[in-house]
Structure formats: C-alpha cells, structure tokens
Amino acid sequence: MSRHPLSSERTTLDPFVVATGDASPRDQRDLMERPFFSLAKARRTAPIRYAAGDVQVEVFAVPEHGMATIWDADVLIWAASQIVEAQNHGLTTSRFLRFTPYQLLTATKRGTGIRAYDLLKRALDRLQSTSIRTTIRHGEHWRRHQFSWINEWEVLTRRDGQVEGMEFVLPDWFYRGVIDRTLVLAIDPAYFRLTGGLERWLYRVARKHAGHQPQGWRFDFAHLHEKSGSLARASDFALHLRRLILRQPLPGYQLFCEVENRRELLHIRPANAPARACGKDVKGICTPHAPAICTSHAGDSVLRTQRSQLSLWPDDENQARNLSNSTSNFYRAAQSGENPPIRAEIRGPAGGEQSVADPASSTARPGGGQ
C-alpha cells in the first residue's frame, strides 16, 4: 500500500530521477556496524537498544509491519549508490528519488516477477514504519535525532494497473550521511548474494573496520553479539560465528577464531593478506590434532527468534576512500572487545590451531587505507 500524506515533502523537493540502475554499490558508514536492523526474516517487534560511550541507537517497530530487516536495508544501499554515482557525474541529487522498481530489483540481485514487486512494497512499509533514535552525528546543541528510514513512498500505476514507477523520500539524517563522501564506503556486489542476516551484518562490519588492512581487525564474540542487536542467545550467536568461520562466506575476507584465556575472538582479515605466525608468513594455519570448533548443543541458527522463519525477501566499483572512524571503540580496545593486542591460538577454516603474537594489532586503524 502506498503512502501519500496530505502534506507531502515532495511538493517542496525537486525529484532526483534515477536514469540507470548501473552504479557501484556503496554503503553508509554509520549503518555498517551498529544494530539498526533486524537480522531475522521472522517479524521482529522487540526494540533494539544499544549504547557505547556517547553513541546510542534505539530502533522501534510496529506490530503491523515489524522492524526493517537487513535485507530491507538493500533499498538504502541502492539509494546511496545512485546518489554517489550521480554526484560523480556532476548531477544534482535530492532526498526525493523517482525510479522504476526494475532498476532497484535488478541492482540488488532480486527477481523481477510479481512476488518480487510485492516484497519490495512490504520492505518499503517496514522501512517507513520503523522508528530510529540515535546520537550519531548529533549537532552541538542537539543530542538525539529521530526519524524513519523512508519518510513517504508511492507507487505510480497506469489505469490498467501496470506499475510505471516508484517514488520515495529519504530522511535528512541518511541523505546527509551519503552526500558526505567520507561517510560512504564501496562494497562488493557479491554482498547482495549473501543469504544470512548475520553474515550480511558481519560483512559490513568487516568492510568498515578491517577494510584493506593486512592485519585485519579483531572482535570479542560477546562484543559482537551486543553490537549486532540479535535476539539470539549468546551461545547460539557464538555457534553461528563458528559455523561462518568454517564456511567462509564473506566476499573478500577470511574469518579466524582466536582464543585467549577461554575468551573467543573473531579475527577478520582481507582474503589476500598473508597469514602470520610469530612474525613469519605462513601458507596456512592448520596443525594436526586440533579440537573441532563447532561442537555446541546450542540451537540451530542465530537467525531464529521466538517464531518460525518467514521468507520476506526471495533467497535468491569504484573504491571509496576508507578513512578511520572517530566514533570507533578502537581507542578503548581493551574495554570494548574490539581489536585487543593479544597472544592467542588461532582456529582457521580447517579447524587447526597455532599460537600467534601480532604486534600490528595495537597499531591498526578501522577501515585501513584504500
């Protein structure tokens, strides 16, 4: 169902008409690591509340539609990509986008049948009805910003019912984060092929923090659980992380489990970075007789909430500068669970272990270089 309030922002905004679906995918940095979206396909109405230092994020859903999911966030990634691409060509952009659903669906690797169009409309409903409160990018005197991911949207149809196009208006908070080029990162188009909610969120975390740094980035399992906003138990969440380490689904990144004093850490490293052990390059990290890393009696999936799964989306490059983020917890690594300097055993994709001392971890920066 389209949304067309009596007082429409579209009457005061010039439309940005999307001319093509071809644009290198780009993501907004503030959305890439914090819990702004549900990671489950089942309808979620439980709110998300997250705080770290002066950063606060609260997300609220309505029962009718449920919370916007990380699959719904593809709409925002597509919008950001189109705005940046237009700016690259010297075109004027706006928060008011006019486009054809076909452009969005094909760019985000969706189907283009009737069901895909219906699912897109449901996604827009969730994006509009989800309410966000955050202190990220607050002004000098204004501490908290409240908005929805889409202010309003409408479907344009002919008299015979054929859909000709769509329009929606983005919130100012999101739009300002896109036109500021330091707050946008290029992502791998293969991201849209990731089917799991956690692996999608983890890729965005990897792209923002590990970037192209050879040393990558480390996170405490418990810290990641808190940052994700997942409703899963901590044990289920940890189990799913171990399974992702075995499966290695993230495009451009490798995952390793490091253990120190019974504390598990996830080490995310660019796929082309050399493995290091005791300061020496090694071809692999796999020693015999290592214990299995996926032996838990926890539940099946981190994507399970209190209800059965519902498929709300079908399962089906220009590099931006990767700058460090001043809001990162890097400078409080020991307390935050991010990128601590450690000496630990590593469990890699093959389940092997090796003791590692990595002095580079104490000098790493979020995002790392180009």
Distance CA 347, CA 276 (A): 13
Classify residue 225 by its DSSP letter: H
- Does the pLDDT at position 312 exceed 60? no
pLDDT band at 273 (very low <50, low <70, confident <90, very high): confident
Classify residue 368 by its DSSP letter: -
Q: What pLDDT is attached to residue 107?
A: 94
Q: What pLDDT is attached to residue 142?
A: 58
Cα angle 257, 69, 62 (rounded to 5 degrees) comes to 135
- Does the pLDDT at position 333 exceed 80? no
Q: What pLDDT is attached to residue 262?
A: 83
- Taking residues 125-141, report their average pLDDT: 87
- Does the pLDDT at position 248 exceed 80? yes
Q: What pLDDT is attached to residue 74?
A: 98
Least confident stretch, 154-168, 226-240, 319-333? 319-333
- Does the pLDDT at position 309 exceed 60? no
- Does the pLDDT at position 24 exceed 80? yes
Among residues 15, 17, 57, which one has the least CA distance to residue 34?
57
Comparing 89 with 331, the larger pLDDT belongs to: 89
Counting residues of the chain whose pLDDT is more than 70, the rounded percentage is 70
- Taking residues 42-49, report their average pLDDT: 97
- Taking residues 308-321, report their average pLDDT: 38
Distance CA 298, CA 230 (A): 15
- Kindly list the domain boundaries of the chain, sorted by start residue: 12-186, 194-370
Reported as a single tens digit per residue, the pLDDT across 80-129 is 999 999 999 999 999 999 999 999 999 999 998 889 999 999 999 999 99
- Does the pLDDT at position 71 exceed 80? yes
Least confident stretch, 129-133, 160-164, 263-267? 160-164
Reported as a single tens digit per residue, the pLDDT across 170-220 is 999 999 999 998 999 999 999 999 999 999 999 999 999 999 999 999 999
Residue showing tokens 């004093």: 261
Comparing 285 with 43, the larger pLDDT belongs to: 43
Reported as a single tens digit per residue, the pLDDT across 339-370 is 766 555 555 554 444 434 343 333 344 454 33
Classify residue 121 by its DSSP letter: H
Indicate the pTM of the whole model: 0.76
Distance CA 147, CA 66 (A): 16
Distance CA 275, CA 140 (A): 44
